[in-house]
Copies of this chain bind each other. A is one copy, B any other.
Amino acid sequence: MPAPHGLSIGYLAERTGLAVSAIRYYEAQGLLEPWRNAGGQRRFHRADIRRLSFIMIAQKFGFTLPEIREQLQSLPNKRTPTKDDWSRLSAGFRSHLDARIATLEKLRDDLDGCIGCGCLSLPTCALYNAEDRAAKKGQGPRYLMGDRPET
Interface residues of A (CB under 8 A from B): 14-19, 49-50, 53-54, 56-57, 59-60, 62, 82-88, 90-91, 93-94, 97-98, 100-101, 104-105, 107-108, 111-112, 114-121, 125, 127-128, 130-131, 134-135, 139-146, 148
Contacts and interface: CB of A to CB of B under 8 A. Distances in A.
A118 B81 CA distance: 10
B104 A101 contact: yes
B108 A141 contact: no
Interface of A is mostly: helix
5 contacts: A18-B142, A50-B121, A53-B121, A87-B115, A97-B107
A125 B144 CA distance: 42
B53 A120 contact: yes
Number of copies: 2
Nearest to A131: B60
Given A83-B119, A128-B56, A98 B108 contact: yes
A144 B16 contact: yes
A93 B125 CA distance: 15
Given A86-B118, A142-B56, A111 B127 contact: no
Nearest to A130: B60
A108 B90 CA distance: 12
A141 B17 contact: yes
Contacts of A119: 83, 86
A90 B120 contact: yes
A16 B142 contact: yes
